[in-house]
Amino acid sequence: MAFSHTGSTSNGGNSAEASTGTHGLTINEGDLVVAFVHINGTATLASDDGLTEEDDRSVLDETARVGFYWKVAGGSEPTAYTWTIGSSSYWRVCFGVFTSSTDAEIATALNYFRKTNNTTDLECGAARSQSANDGDLGIITGGKDNRATTNEAYTTADNSYTGATGGTSNQIAGMAHRVYNANKTYGASEDIDIDVADGHDGRSDKTFGYYITFQESAGSDNDIGELPAGMLTYTGLAGSGVSTENKTGELPAGNLVYTGLALQGVNADSDVGELPVGSIVYTAGEHRPPRPRST
């Protein structure tokens, strides 16, 4: 299974609250929502909309702070996401939405980077601490503790990255992504330039930011759809002596091992261990839509 890009946007300002603004993106339940926040100053960031803070830090030798946030969308998401800064500051938010066909948990691995050389583009680069598997999502972000008088939008990225978003006014920041392909070979580090439309932003400075991967954990290939009445079909369920097309009802005691699945209407004596909280539930003849959980 793989992630696909719904859309991205960026917003900047000068206030005590950073915001995506009215992002205008369609967000469905189970979608992956991500945000890179960059402020001029050292005030602590705080998400106002229930996003998971993957990292939040002051940038060494700069008067700047960055943070990366994400969540698996619920049934109702706001038209704008906000962060409390604590004091009026220049800021920029890069925001993206991705769909995922997974019905399993999403695992993350984040690497922070800080370049020491001055460049006019966003020169991003970080080691990758998580293996690049087919369908994984890689996101690169970059910022500079600088700003341009007139905003120029970041529109392109190299090294097979796409979906660039960001801007140069208020606080320089950009974000791009790629979905990994099993047919391609990738290095152990990510070195990506994110550029504005005319190829430079006019502000030569150091770049800092994050490289983060999102990976569908084991069990992401479970069947989705209506199950035939009176039959049990499962993927991600291992059991000694249990066929993949068992009739519903009592299964042989002691030989059923659950892997990310809970079965409704099955003899409890056949359970081995405690079922994981939030497991997917299949009932013969129907499908209950799953919801991915964050780790």
Q: How confident is the model at residue 1 (pLDDT cuts 50, 70, 90)?
A: low
Choice between 18 and 132, residue whose per-residue pLDDT is larger: 18
Q: Would you tell me how many other CB atoms lie within 10 Å of the CB of residue 187?
A: 10
Strand bridging mode 189-196 / 154-157: antiparallel
Is residue 93 exposed (0-12), middle (13-18) or buried (19+ Cβ within 10 Å)?
buried
User: In the predicted model, is pLDDT for residue 290 greater than 80?
Assistant: no
Identify the DSSP state of 268: G
The tens digit of pLDDT for each residue in 237-248 reads: 444 444 444 434
Predicted local distance difference test score (pLDDT) of residue 123: 92
Question: Could you tell me the pTM of the whole model?
Answer: 0.73
Which range of 75-84, 103-112, 128-137, 246-255 scores highest in mean pLDDT? It is 75-84
The tens digit of pLDDT for each residue in 107-162 reads: 889 999 999 999 888 999 888 877 778 889 999 999 999 999 889 999 999 999 99
Predicted local distance difference test score (pLDDT) of residue 236: 41
Q: What percent of the chain has pLDDT over 70?
A: 69
CA 105 to chain CA centroid, Å, is: 12
Q: How confident is the model at residue 293 (pLDDT cuts 50, 70, 90)?
A: very low
- What are 91's two structure tokens? 């800021």
Average pLDDT across the chain, whole number: 77
Alpha-carbon span 187 to 20, nearest angstrom: 33
The tens digit of pLDDT for each residue in 23-44 reads: 999 999 989 999 999 999 988 8
User: In the predicted model, is pLDDT for residue 266 greater than 50?
Assistant: no
